[in-house]
Each structure stands twice: as C-alpha cells, then as structure tokens.
Structure 1
Amino acid sequence: MEYKKDILHNVSLGVLLGTVVASTLLVVPFTNSFVTDTKAYVSMYAALVVLALFIVSSVKRRAFEFILNPLVLSALFFAITIGASSFFANKYPVENLLGFGGTLIASSIIALMAGSILPKRMTKPLLTTIAISGAALTVLSGLQAIGFGPTVAINALIGSQLPGSLAFNLTGSSYVALQFIGVAVIGVLTHIALKKHISTVFAITLPLLIIGILLHGWSILPGQAAYSQLPSWNASWSVALDTIRSPRSALIGVGSAGYRNAYSIFKPAWTNGTEWWSIIYNQAANTPLTLLTTAGFLGLISWVILALKAFKTARITSTENKPIAYMLVSTFILQLVLPMNIVMLTLQAILIAALVASERDKYSIARFKAMSFNVIDRNQASSVPKKSSVVSMYLSAGVGFALIAAGLYLVTRSYIAFTADFRATRAATEDNAVAVYEFQQQAVTLNPYLDMFRRNYAITNLLIASAISNNAELSEDQSDQVGQLLQQAVREARSATLLDEADSQNWTTLAEIYTNMIGVTEDAAQWATQAYVTAIETNPTDPGLRVSLGAIFANQEAFGQAANIFQQAVNIKPDFAPALYNLAVSLVKLEDWTNAQAAYQAVLQQLDPSTEDYTKVEEELNLVNEKVAEAEAAAQAQQDAASTTETGSTPLGEVKSPSLTEQVIDGRDAIETTPENDVTLTQQEPQNQAPVVEEQPAP
C-alpha cells in the first residue's frame, strides 16, 4: 500500500492511530482526575509530536506546506478563535490551556498539520483502528459490568476504591463510550455498504460494536449505574444569554475553561427547585452553547463554519473516503445534541486530518519559504523547491523545535504537578499531614498559576494550624508556627482569588480561613464577611454561602442581621433545611416566637422522623410552642382588657410594628438599614496573624 512507501508517512500514521487507541482505552491512574487528565495529555502530546513531524517534513521539502482544503482553513479559523478566548479572556490563561482550551488547540494543530504528513490512503487503517478500539472498549466494559474490569487492576495498583460497575468507563463515562462506538458503527456500515463485502476484521468487530451500543445505552438509563444528569437545555440557554450581555464576553467568551464560573454566576434561580440544584456544570447542554459562552460569537461562528465544511466535504468526497467523511459528520451531529468531550474532540481532529490527507490531490498547496509565499497547483505539489535559503529554512525549523521543546517542558511540568497533588490526596487518606503539606507545596511550586493547587494548599495550612493550636499548652515555637501557617493560608487563598476571581470556591476558601481567625485576629470577621459577599456575588443562587455568612453574624450575636441573611437563603431555596433551622434559632434569639414556630415546622418537613436531628428540632419546637401559647394568652388578655374601654380601641399612641422577619418575608432583599448595624466590607489585610486559631461552632 502507498502508506508503506514513506518512513515519515508511516511514523505519522502510527502516531495518529496510536492516539486513537490511547485517547479511547488508555488511563494513567496517577492524578486525581486520571481518566480526563490522561485523555487531555494524550491530545497535547500528540499535537506536539505532529508538530515535530511537520517540521521534519518541511525541512525535507525545504518549505512549510499547507493543503488549502476548506477543512484546513476552517480549522485554522477555529484555532485562532479558541486561542483568543484562552489567552485574552482571562489574565492568567493557564487554567484555560490545561482545560478544554488546551484540548481544542491541540486538536486544531492535529487537524491543521497532520494532513500534510499522513499517507493518502487513510480509510482502511484508520477505520480498522477505530473499530478494534470500539470492540475492545465493549469487551472491557462488559468485564467491568460483572466486576472484573479495569478497576480491579487500578484499585490494586493505587489502592483506590473505584466501583466495579459501569459507573467507571475508560473513556470517562458511558455517554462518551456510546458516542465513540456509534461513530465506529457508522464507519464500518458505510464501508460494508460501499464495498458490498465484509472483511474478517469487521465481521468480528461489528457485532461487538452493536453489543457495545446496547450495553452502554442500557447503562445510562435512569436508575442504572452510569446514569448522570446532563446539563439542562433551558439553564444552558439562560447562562449563554446572560454571558453575552457583556461586549467582551460576546466577542471572545469567558475563556475555554470558564464555563463553570459562568454557570455559577448566571445559574437560573429556578434550578434550586430541581434534584440537580447543587451541581455546577463544566459545560452546556451541547457544544454550540458551550462555545457561545466560553469563546463568544467568534468561537460559535468558527465552529459552525467548520461543521458546514465537513458536511459539504462529505457530499463531494470520493467513494473510498466516504466512511471517514460520514464518521466526521456524525461527530458534529453528536456535538449538536450533547456536550463535547476530549475523546470525541481528538477523534474529530484525526478524522479531519485523515480526510484532508486522502483528498490532498484535489486542492492547491500553500508553500511558505524564507521571505516568500506562493500557491502551488495540485499537479505541481510533488515538486521540490530549489536549494535556496537553506540557512533560513534551518533557522525556522530550529525556532520551531525550540517552541516544541518549551511546550513539552511546560506540559510535562504541569502533569508532574497533578501527580504531586494526587500523592497529597493519597497521603491525606493515610492521615499523613506532613506529606500532604509537602506534596501540595510541590504542586504549587511546579504550577503556581493554577488556583486549585493554591486553594488546596491554603486549606491544608489552615487545618495544620488548627491541629497544632488545639494542644493544651503551646510552646513559643508552636505559636510562631501556627502564626506562620495562618499567614501562608491567607496568602495562598488570596493568590487563588487573584488567579481566578470569578471562581466562588476561591472566595469561599478565603472566607473560611478568616472565619477561623475570628476572636483572635482583629477585623477577621469583617474580612470573612467581605470574602463571603464576593463568594455570593460569584454564586448568587447557592443558599449555603448565605448560611455561612449568617453564622458569622449569629456568632457575634447580631441576630437581626443573621435572620435577614438566613431569610434570603430560604427565599433562594425554601426547602434548604440548614437555612430554615438557623433562621428559626435566630428568630428565637429575637423572641419572634410566631415566625420561629413557622421556621421550625418547615425544618421538620425536610427531616426524616427517624433521625436524631428530627428529635432535636421537635424538642426545640415544643419550647417555642409554649412561648407562642404564652404570647397568645397575653395578647388575648390584653384584647379582653381593651374591650372594656368605651371606644374599644388600643391605647392612644400604641403602634405594632412588623417584626424583622415579617419585613424580610415581604421583600427578599429587605435588610436592616440602621447605620450602627451596617457591615463594613472594605478593610485592610492583617500584617501579622495571631498565633492561635479558634474554631467557630457550626451553624
């Protein structure tokens, strides 16, 4: 076959086929999210290898050549828009590049450059690899369903407790596996229909692929092991519309890894009435809505153009390449109705590259040489440029290899950081606080621009400081150590907020640290309040944040402010038991017995009667009932006394004002406006932390 004639083509083909297998079946269980991380890093490493092979091929030709296929040009436009979103939507782009942004850019590199270095006859080797990978995935999933799947080996290797069911899948989920196998079936059936013949390989793999569709389709049904709640179409649409109200976001989006933040900020309030109210999604219901949110209209338009070019190419491509074209079209159709995933993005890029390589004779070639550019007719594409400007060509190649080396270093360094974070998690399960601290410190050192590492390290500093301060007698060195740990916790948490100021988790972590410093550090309550206010601004529909903020006021005996905030939490989610209970307790402190009674009754409706919490709340409610009865008796006596007067009215000048809670119920945003009770949200950072941590009671 033609693809065996050229070593470079063979190597390129092997890399792409290996990428298909690795992105589908390979997992390296040495990071916390090892399935997703493996797929992401496979795509990034594959892109670097493809780029290196492209440069080698260019040196051989003494020019950089690109096939002017509409798919290539569309992929270039898509890559530019994703790059703009990843680099310019946020001040620190590292999270974008290590998330979907990195995968999308890597996929674009494969789609752009692999077509120039692959052999022309791609259909059979690629389709065979996809079919075998899908069949192997079916077999492994079948073993997983009966408890003898990949998790047995993974659990033995790293000591984890992954489920021995279809809840685990090598592709990340049964949804992804179902998509991959479905695309493989389309390719195999197309090939059989066109050839009117079925080969031995396809005769074996096709039944397995069909079984795989049935198995994974069954596993995602409600009540089955692999079922998960997909993002809501209505919520996704609402989030997208709210995001693009900003001109900047409308143009380039919120960043390729920013969907979670956008969803947190703009999540519709009605979702709190659903079973999935607490889920913060990383993607929208489908790819176009995700791109509209994360990459703006530029990203969406570029994807639409790429999809349309794929559909058009499928109509005019040669019969031999129809299986590849139809598989490519099916990936875009799936993206129209489902969230995107790394496995399918990588497969889509490889299909584009394969189709471009197979159709290269139909299109002209753009040739870049030193200080020159020209378009060559397809009939002259095989001609080699003259030996001119060789030095410039080698210099350009040297720059390219330097960039590849830098990319390889940075990608590997970031992966090692994830492995350090994984080792910290393992150490935590073994209660080895020192190891947790050291591994998280290593993760931050390796990748200081990822807020997740900063956030985790901050929490660890706080926990260690709390553990030391709980000793009965602290030495001077221990006191100094506690103070230093607290300073580090604040520093790391604040760094996390600077790296990603739209992430509510970062502000919540900072608030929790300040909360633990209340009582021993001046103005810690004000700093905690300010951090919680910002956390609420970045996640306004989370009732738990308001409960935590209200607890700060309750612990300071500012029960009016506390009741106000707890009522806001109840308004956001009326069946949220912690908010109802804390509201009831605050109303008791305010001696607002009637509203406290109603709040306690609402709490009981959310609790299981067989639990201790139910018994405790019921006892507290009985005490409140007695107070309500006393108040009603006193009111009745007063009414009886008033009825003996000549006018039958209340004494002159007596006015009954509505309680604080009644005012809050009438208006969700009602707050106390007494100046002395206002919260000051702009305070200065403490320069020296107190050496003792005081735990605050849970609300």
Structure 2
Amino acid sequence: MNERLAKNTQKISLFLLSLSFVLSPLFFLPLTTDYFQLNKQVLFLLLSSIALIFWLIHNFAVGHVQLTLSPITIPLALFASANLASTLINSPKNQEVWLTQPSLIVGGLIYIFVFSNLINSPKIIKTILHWLLISGFISTLASLLAVLELFSQTNLPPYLKARSFSLVGSPLALTSVLLAILPISLIFALKVKSGPKKLLYFLSSGLILSCLILVGYQLLPGKLFQPLLLPQLAGWSIATDTLKTKVFLGAGPNEFLNQFTQFKPLFLNRTAFWNNTFTASSNEYFNILTTTGIIGLTSFLAVIFGWLKLIKRIPGTRITATQLSVNLAVAILLLIAVFIPFTVIHWLLLFGFLAFSVGLNKNKALTKTKNIALTSNIPLIFPAIFALVLVVILGFSWFKIVKVYLAETIFNQSLIAANKNLANQTYNLQIKAIQKAPLIDRYHLAYSNTNLALANALSEKNDLTDQERQTIIQLVQQAIREARTAVQLNPKKASNWINLGLLYRQLINFAQNADQFSETAYLQAIQLDPANPALRLEFGGLLFALEKYEEAANVFSTAIQLKPDLPNSYYNRAQAFIKLNKNLEAYQDFQQIDALLSQDSPDRPRFNQEMKDLEAKLPKTPATASPAAAPANKELTQPSPLPQPPKNFTPIPLD
C-alpha cells in the first residue's frame, strides 16, 4: 500500500511540476490588469504548491525525507533569503509582494528543490523538453499569425488582434524565450536518426527561426515593437547611487521605480527617454544589484558558479543531447540577463532548467550531487516536521495570495467599467478591491480619482440640492483621504505626491488652503524626482496660476537647466517674464524657442505672431541670446489657469 502510494504521489508531483514548466510560455488570463506575467506566476505557484503537498505525502509513504543537495542549493537559498530580507526591511506592508518577485523567487527555490528530488531518470527530462518544444511551437505560431495580422479580421478581443500579441507576454519576451528553446530543437534534430522525428525537429526549428527573424526585426530601433529599455549606463548609475545608502540588501525587490525617480541620471534628459519612467533596470544583474544589494547579486552569481561546477564534465565522459540542450538553455538565459531585465517567464524557465541540471547529474558516476535520507528512530518524525512547517507556510501564503489576486481581478473589472463610463459600478468595484487589499497604493490612487471625477460631474449640474451639495463635499473629502492614503502607503513614490498635488490644485477655489497643500505636495514630489523637467513645468504652472510669477520663473529656469532643448520651458518662463514686465528677458526666451521649434510645428504660426507682438514692445536694439544646439518638436502650452470657483458654493475647509 505504502509503496503504491509513494509511486503515485511521486508521479503526480512530477506531472504538476512539469506542467507548470511546459505551460509557462502559453498560459494567460484576461482577469487581472496584467494578463500575462502575473497569471503565469500564479499558475506556477499553484501547481508547485499542490506538487509540494503530494511530495509531503510521498515522504510519509516512504517513511523518510530525501534531500538532493547540489552546488546550487545553498546559493539559491541565500538568494531567496536576500529577496525576503530586503522586502521585510524596505516594504514590509506592501501586499503586492505576494504576487511579485519575492514570492516568485522563494517559490522557485522550493520548485527546484522538490523537482530535483523527484527526477530519477534523464528520460523524464527529455520528455519534458519535448513538451516544451510543443509549447514553444504553439507560442511561435500564435505570434506569427499576430504579426502577419491574420487575427485582425476576426471577432477576437482587441488585445488578441494586436500585431504585438504574444502568449509569452511581449515580443521581447517571446524573442528571448525562443532563443533559449531553439538550441533544444536543433540539437535533437541533429542527434536523432533520419526519419519523421528528424523532419519534425527541423520544421520546428525553422518555424522558431522564422519567428525570431520576423519579430526580432520589429524589435530594432524605430521599428514597430521597439522595446522601452533603460540604457545600460543609466542602470549602472542608479545601482551605484542606491548602494551608497543601501549597500547590503538594496532598495527592495519592488522598489526600482522609486530608485529610478530618485537617482535618474541627468544625461537621460538629452535622450528620447527624458519623459519615461522604468520599473526595471537595464539588465537583470543591475536590477538584482539595485533591489537586493551586494548580498543579492553575490548570491545570484554564486548560483551561476555553482551551476558551472555542477555541469563540468568529468574527463572521459561524454555529454548527451539532453545535457547539452539544458546547458545551452541555461547559458542563453544567463546571457540574455546581461541585456534585458527578466520577467516572470524568464525566471520560470531558468528554474526549470536549473532543476534539470541537478536531475541530470544525479545519475552520473562521481556525481556532484548528494542524496541524503533523513531518518530517525521515531517513525515518520522528519516527514511530520517537514509537513507541519511547510503546510503552515503554504496556508498562510495562499491566504495572502488569494486576497491580493481577488483584489486584482476586482480592480481590473473597475477599470473595464471606467472605460465604459459606468461610474457607479467603477466606484463600488474599487471599494471592494480596497477592502480585499487595503495596503496597495494603486487602488487608493484610482479610487481617489474616481471620487473627484464624480464630484466634478455632479457639480456641473444647475440648481444643486442640499443633498447633492453634501454628496459633492463627501466625494471631495474621500478623494483627498484616498490620495493621502496612497502617499502614506508608499511615501517614496513620486507619482503619488504628484497626484496629491494635482488633486489639491483642482480644488483651489473650492477648498480652503488647497493651494498651500498643492505646493507642499509638489515640493515633496520634486525631492523624490529631482531630475524630472516635466514635473518642474507642472509645479511652475501652479505657481504661475497663483500669480507667483517670480517663483514660477525660477522653477521654469530649473526645468531649462534639466533639459535645455525643451521649448515649452522657455515659453512658460517667457510668459512669467511678461507678467513681471521683463519683456527683454521674455524676448530672449522667444529667441531660444525660435531655434528649437521646428518649422512644421502646429504651434509655429501662433508663436511667430506672439514673437512679433513681443518684439514691438522692445527697444529698437533687442539683446539676443545664442540659440540652442539641438532642435526638438514640442508643442507650446501656457500654464493652465486655476479652476473656476463653483457658483453659490462655499469653499470647504481642509485639515
């Protein structure tokens, strides 16, 4: 009975772990805001957790716990520990960690540990690789059909008809995954004897190669799928600046965006990326260094060196096609990590191939792996201890994961409702999302904006009743409360402070002291995002609207220093100078604009007339300024005026 149970539980665990690996390039669900990577991770964690439970039952059946130790075991444990420790130190209350990198890395450690324990034959790995090729073939075919626009005439949802659609998640992710899979298909094609199998392998390789060429070409600069990647020098600069204050454990696995805004190098303002933000570094090694510090990167490099030690061939032994395929796949993924940051799919494939590397070395002579059976005079004591600890951890983790995942699905429904202008449904769904996961700042931010939008819509009515006035006040107060909550939950996130500043700006002439609160919020945002010229323009526009023209001109001057080729900065400063009766300085700014603004800009006729009108107010010999070197095609916009006070509405007080 026990022998049969042990055999069946081993098979079920192996099947579930293999299934999570094979399905990773294919699986997605349109239920959350992120259709692809998030749901791939949830599937991986779910199947791995169920497999872990069957492995625990297997331990009871065999009467002991068998552990497979290898050169990568301790480094992997250290890497997972670094992710956990960095998360606990930097963002202990962030509920999103349950569905982001920390849970993924810890899940990967358990996955490799259990999978490598259960693999007892190279044939198992070869079978899994065959199924992975089928999975890759399906992903390739779907992407080719999308790129060739063969889905465009169907009744599929818009995201499925997009040329960039990929089951893997994105054209860049698809290309990198196919690069890892292609050698497997080619090696099997070359190793197998002539026949139908050889033909199928070559056909699969040809299709993958065709997709790589077609999609890869569109990833080139200026092409349709050009990815938005942080330049390598910028990634290194942000990493080194982060280490000055957080050298050992970094800023936290989910904190790269905050590090980017805080330490964005000024040279980015001279590039096309000047107004972009990034949630990941230039490559995965810089990303690990920034988010988990020296300990995280060192432990990950130790994993690589441990893997190299693991696969080192013993003199006189030959390498099999399966071993060569797995080794090349791992090497390609580690090389890809030099050029791009990893997504969930990259980590899942790496976990699987590392487990295969351990499994393939269990059956070799003079193996570098070691199987240890934990036994005791007390029957089943070790299986019981392992089961108790891991089941408690699993239960607690899935309690958290389910809550966050349900919140994500509800929040996604609210965004769908918002796109359909279903205001009440949007409002109620966002309340439910916050109730499920109250510590996620994104939900509070969206709910704040929903409240303000409802208040604005209601205030446009004529002849408001007392009840409607009270509802408007309540909505405004809720908007402020939720925006403040978002700031409290993630005070290092510049966009949260920008949102708060914009909210207060919209309430000027409606709520008392809103102008002061708006200024304070913008100043805090500037401290967190000091190299952002667009933020300076926005803050300068607020000061201009408040008729603080001297201060506004100074802020616009800072925007010019940050990005000297942005015409709108000069234009806004010129407007401030005009208000201060400094027409000569304003004209000098207009000369800069004249050099920067392209001749075919839609703003050119209006600008020429304004410059002519300003020139008429100057002395006969106006001073000139040296023109800027680089042209930029940007629209000219004056600072936005403050909102008009509502009719017959007494301003509400703010705390």
| TM-score normalised according to structure 2 size | 0.87
Following superposition, the deviation at residue 242 of structure 1 comes to 0.6
Residues 258-277 of structure 1 mapped to structure 2, 5 A cutoff? 258-277=255-274
Task: Tell me what 1:313 maps to.
Answer: 310
Do the aligned partners of 2:63 and 2:383 also contact (CA within 8 Å) in 1? yes
SS of corresponding position for 2:247? helix
Task: Tell me what 1:231 maps to.
Answer: 230
Residues 433-512 of structure 1 mapped to structure 2, 5 A cutoff? 433-512=423-502
Inter-CA distance 49–148: structure 2 relative to 1 (3 Å threshold): farther
Inter-CA distance 428–340: structure 2 relative to 1 (3 Å threshold): same
Inter-CA distance 436–600: structure 2 relative to 1 (3 Å threshold): farther
Inter-CA distance 624–350: structure 2 relative to 1 (3 Å threshold): same
Do the aligned partners of 2:483 and 2:496 also contact (CA within 8 Å) in 1? yes
Code of the aligned partner of 2:46 = Y
2:137 is aligned with 1:135: yes
CA distance in 2, matches of 1:600, 1:112: 66
Code of the aligned partner of 1:207 = G
Inter-CA distance 590–127: structure 2 relative to 1 (3 Å threshold): same
Residues 390-401 of structure 1 mapped to structure 2, 5 A cutoff? 390=380, 393-394=383-384, 397-401=387-391
Task: Tell me what 2:285 maps to.
Answer: 288
Residues 147-296 of structure 1 mapped to structure 2, 5 A cutoff? 147-149=149-151, 156-157=156-157, 160=158, 164-165=162-163, 167-192=164-189, 199-200=197-198, 201-246=200-245, 249-296=246-293
CA distance in 2, matches of 1:310, 1:395: 30
Code of the aligned partner of 2:127 = P
Task: Tell me what 1:670 maps to.
Answer: none
Task: Tell me what 1:86 maps to.
Answer: 87
Following superposition, the deviation at residue 194 of structure 1 comes to 5.5
Do the aligned partners of 1:53 and 1:117 also contact (CA within 8 Å) in 2? no
Do the aligned partners of 2:451 and 2:479 also contact (CA within 8 Å) in 1? yes
CA distance in 2, matches of 1:124, 1:391: 35
CA distance in 1, matches of 2:650, 2:389: 53
Paired positions, count: 615
Code of the aligned partner of 1:556 = L
CA distance in 1, matches of 2:354, 2:153: 36
Q: CA RMSD in A?
A: 2.9
Following superposition, the deviation at residue 302 of structure 1 comes to 0.6
2:72 is aligned with 1:75: no
Identity %: 23
SS of corresponding position for 1:65? strand
Cα displacement string for residues 540-577 of structure 1 (whole angstroms, at most 9, x for unaligned residues): 11112112211222122111111111111121112333
Code of the aligned partner of 1:339 = P
Do the aligned partners of 1:82 and 1:104 also contact (CA within 8 Å) in 2? yes
Code of the aligned partner of 1:257 = N
2:544 is aligned with 1:543: no
Segment drifting more, 60-69 vs 445-454: 60-69
CA distance in 1, matches of 2:567, 2:136: 46
CA distance in 2, matches of 1:518, 1:500: 25
Cα displacement string for residues 361-396 of structure 1 (whole angstroms, at most 9, x for unaligned residues): 53333455xxxxxxxxxxxxxxxx467244784465
CA distance in 1, matches of 2:422, 2:595: 41
2:333 to 331, 334, 338: 331
SS of corresponding position for 2:618? helix
CA distance in 2, matches of 1:478, 1:367: 72
SS of corresponding position for 1:441? helix
In structure 2, stretches of 5+ residues that fail to align are 629-648
Task: Tell me what 2:22 maps to.
Answer: 21
CA distance in 1, matches of 2:57, 2:104: 23
Inter-CA distance 46–152: structure 2 relative to 1 (3 Å threshold): farther
CA distance in 2, matches of 1:138, 1:290: 28
Following superposition, the deviation at residue 60 of structure 1 comes to 2.5
CA distance in 2, matches of 1:434, 1:459: 13
Segment drifting more, 187-196 vs 405-414: 187-196
CA distance in 1, matches of 2:279, 2:224: 21
In structure 1, stretches of 5+ residues that fail to align are 369-384, 636-661, 666-689, 695-699
CA distance in 2, matches of 1:493, 1:47: 38
Task: Tell me what 2:634 maps to.
Answer: none
Task: Tell me what 1:32 maps to.
Answer: 33
Cα displacement string for residues 236-273 of structure 1 (whole angstroms, at most 9, x for unaligned residues): 11111111001xx2110111111111111111111111
CA distance in 2, matches of 1:64, 1:625: 87
Do the aligned partners of 2:565 and 2:596 also contact (CA within 8 Å) in 1? yes
Task: Tell me what 2:296 maps to.
Answer: 299
Task: Tell me what 1:359 maps to.
Answer: 361
Code of the aligned partner of 2:533 = P
Cα displacement string for residues 64-89 of structure 1 (whole angstroms, at most 9, x for unaligned residues): 43211112222112111111122222
Code of the aligned partner of 1:264 = T
1:322 to 318, 321, 324: 324
Residues 373-452 of structure 1 mapped to structure 2, 5 A cutoff? 385=375, 388-390=378-380, 393-394=383-384, 397-452=387-442
* Bigger radius of gyration: 1
Following superposition, the deviation at residue 215 of structure 1 comes to 2.4
Segment drifting more, 136-145 vs 607-616: 607-616
Code of the aligned partner of 1:352 = L
CA distance in 2, matches of 1:135, 1:396: 39
SS of corresponding position for 2:28? coil
Do the aligned partners of 2:248 and 2:293 also contact (CA within 8 Å) in 1? yes
Do the aligned partners of 2:13 and 2:52 also contact (CA within 8 Å) in 1? no
CA distance in 2, matches of 1:303, 1:51: 24
Inter-CA distance 599–471: structure 2 relative to 1 (3 Å threshold): farther
